[in-house]
Amino acid sequence: MTRRTVARALVYLSLIAATVVVLLPLVVVLLTSLKSEREMTRSGGALSLPDNLLNFHNYVSAFRDGEMLSAFANTAVILLVSVGGTVLIGSMTAYAIDRFTFRLRKLVVALFLVAALVPGVTTQVATFQIVNSFGMFDSLWAPIALYMGTDIVSIYIFLQFVRSIPVSLDESARLDGANAFTIYRKIIFPLLKPAIATVVIVKGITVYNDFYIPFLYMPSEDLGVISTSLFRFRGPYAAHWEVISAGAILVILPTLIVFLSLQRFIYNGFMRGATR
Amino acid sequence: MTDTTEKAAVKTTTGAASTAPSPAPAPRGTRVWRGVTPWLFLIAPLALLITFTYAPVANMLAYSLTDWDGVSPELRYIGAENYAEIFTREDLFRVFFVSGYYLVASAVQIVAALYFATILSFNVRFRNFFKGVLFFPYLINGVAIGFVFLYFFQDGGTLDSVLNLFGVESDRAWLGTPVSANTSLAGVSVWRYLGLNFVLFLGAIQSIPGELYEAAELDGANRWHQFRHIIAPGIKPVLTLTVILSISGSLSVFEVPYIMTGGATGTETFVIQTVNLAFRFGKTGLASAAAVVLLLIILLVTWIQRRLVPDDKVDLV
């Protein structure tokens, strides 16, 4: 009996330790973001509480000087277009592959499958030349095209769902005179809602957080997305940890809100998306 | 396996059904139209796939045999020289050793994720809170994580302050020497990615039917036995997949070290080096060869995984 109690206590102890390890760095940054410049130099240590818990001065500087407004706007545009495109392209691909038998179908499937094995980071040097030759370098189109590119994970998720939609639905619609496009638009697409939610979440978080692609393809300052704009804090604020912290919290906050409101869907989305 | 055969059976019957009701063969125009329809759906995805995946791979192979600088109009063929350079120049080769730190970190990460997934799939108070806390770092922006941990490892930053609380007088630059810098960065990687492995394992464990545990408990199995004989075999496919993803992940680390140290003090990883070679020093040919080497290693690792665990889940058809 006592052994069991000890085991339970150890389990909780490990969970609490993990919670501290995860939250401590974040909480300290939150505290730092609320301190004034003078408090920072007074060196009360990183763990000390700020004098005024409602001192949002640093947030104002970070938001204004870091041009976070245009960063959020750019991110929003890229996010909307590329997530919308991914949903459209993924569902069309899945529909065509699952509902039609045509010559070269096996080859098409193989092309998508093999592409899944090529990690994006390895081909970036050559991809850069192609994006450049289209004149998309240093424009919002570069990340949009690359994100839409071909997201194998989303195609796979859609394929799973298209398969679960009974073919008899297509057939009865066809007897009523619907063509393939009407069937896709009126029957398949609406029934894919759960899959669309999954893809929107997984893809949305990936795009919001990506640093590599916007960093390489959009060096202009006015084309900053949230990652690259935040990255630029390094230079001008090098020693001003209170402003950098405020910027970091500004970027994390939307993620936290989305996570808390959609928790269950997010877990499911990642389980479905990542296991492939 | 049975699923595919069933699928094939369904396919043929539906194919027959769609032609059966029409009394006369469809007019020529309709038949052509029907043959074209799938391609109308596939044209955009295929164009993107070829432009942004296959064309780059082909170009990359070609560039890797030249000494191209990325700008000049002419490419000069130099054979396998770039490859020879990668494997003989010690400063280029060194980045592989940096991956070692991340490989060790991955092992720690998988064990910890497995532990937390196991205990949180049983009845624990505040389960959803702990789940959320463990998973959340995975969703945070990489640049923000970089800054959070730059401050964490700063002189007089979070880590030093915590150690002071426990009376440990630490006066060291955590990112100052190659060993401690790489260890610190690998630690950040564990902090960041533990949640993903954890959620994958949790999902796999939850798909194991609950009666198995009950039956095992009746037979007198304790928690360790249950883990050893029910959970571990039950999640084997996810476990191997995670190992593979970790290996290719360890080889392609970029974001956090680039943001935190810029690759200084011996923390340069393979991808940082490739990006620098191509975009800073204009050595597109050499960078392409390096990328080809990385791609080949990752394909090899994936191939080994497919051999070890024949994965029947990856049938796209």
**Domain positions in chain A:** 3-54, 68-274
Calculate the CA B42 to chain-centre distance: 27
* Cα–Cα–Cα angle for A219, A223, A225, rounded to 5 degrees: 100
- Among B113, B95, B34, B136, which residue's Cα sits nearest to residue B271? B95
Residues in B closer than 8 angstroms to A149, CB to CB, are: 48-49, 52-53
How confident is the model over B108-150, as pLDDT tens digits?
Answer: 999 999 999 999 988 888 999 999 999 999 999 999 999 999 9
Residues B77 and B66: beta-carbon distance below 8 Å = yes
Query: Residue B105: its pLDDT value, please?
Result: 96
- pLDDT-derived band at B180 (thresholds 50, 70, 90) equals very high
Most A CBs within 10 Å, among B31, B41, B248, to test the A interface: B41
What pLDDT was estimated at residue A78?
A: 96
Residue pair A230/B141 in contact by the 8 Å Cβ criterion: yes
**Are residues B134 and A18, on separate chains, in Cβ contact within 8 Å?**
yes
Residue B5 has pLDDT above 70, yes or no: no
pLDDT value of residue B19:
41
H helix or E strand, kind and range, residue A183: helix A180-183
CB pairs under 8 A between A and B: 270
Class for the domain spanning A68-274: mainly alpha
Q: Which residues of A touch B148 (CB under 8 A)?
A: 25-26, 29, 248
Q: Is A145 on the interface with B (CB under 8 A)?
A: yes
- Closest chain A CA to residue B288: A125
By CB atoms closer than 10 A (0-12, 13-18, 19+), residue B83 is middle
Of A14, A205, A274, the CB nearest to B200: A274
Neighbour tally for A112: CB within 10 Å: 21
Structure tokens at A59: 């947030």
> What is the pTM (predicted TM-score) of this model?
0.87
* Alpha carbon distance B223, A216 (integer Å): 49
Burial class (CB in 10 A: 0-12, 13-18, 19+), B19: exposed
Q: What angle do CA B213, B214, B216 make, to 5 degrees?
A: 65
Helix (H, G, I), strand (E, B) or coil at A139: coil
List the CATH code of the domain at B90-308: 1.10.3720.10
Q: Which residues of chain A have pLDDT under 70?
A: 1, 43-44, 273-276
* A159 in contact with B, Cβ within 8 Å: yes
Q: Is A69 exposed, middle or buried (0-12, 13-18, 19+ CB in 10 A)?
A: exposed
Beta-sheet strands, E only, within A2-104? none
Chain B interface test: which of A121, A132, A147 (most B C-beta within 10 Å)? A121
A248:B52 CB<8 A:
no
Contact of B68 with B76, CB cutoff 8 Å? yes
Q: Is B105 exposed, middle or buried (0-12, 13-18, 19+ CB in 10 A)?
A: buried
Per-residue model confidence (pLDDT) at position B18: 42
β-bridge partners, A259: none
Query: Which region, left, alpha or beta, applies to residue A43 given φ > 0 means left and ψ of -120 to 50 means alpha?
Result: left
Instruction: Give the pLDDT band (50/70/90) at residue B20.
Output: very low
What are A23's two structure tokens? 């939250």
Res B13 pLDDT > 50: no
CB-nearest to A108 from B42, B298, B313 is: B42
Torsion of CA A28, A32, A38, A42, to 10 degrees: 10
- Report the pLDDT value the prediction gives residue B25, as an integer from 0 to 100: 56
User: What's the confidence (pLDDT) of residue A274?
Assistant: 62
pLDDT in tens, B256-303: 999 999 888 889 999 999 999 988 898 999 999 999 998 898 888 888
Q: At what angle do helices B95-120 and B270-279 cross, to 10 degrees?
A: 130
Q: Give this complex's ipTM.
A: 0.91
Q: What is the pLDDT of residue A234?
A: 85
Give pLDDT, residue B304: 84
Q: Is the distance from CB of B239 to CB of B230 less than 8 angstroms?
A: no
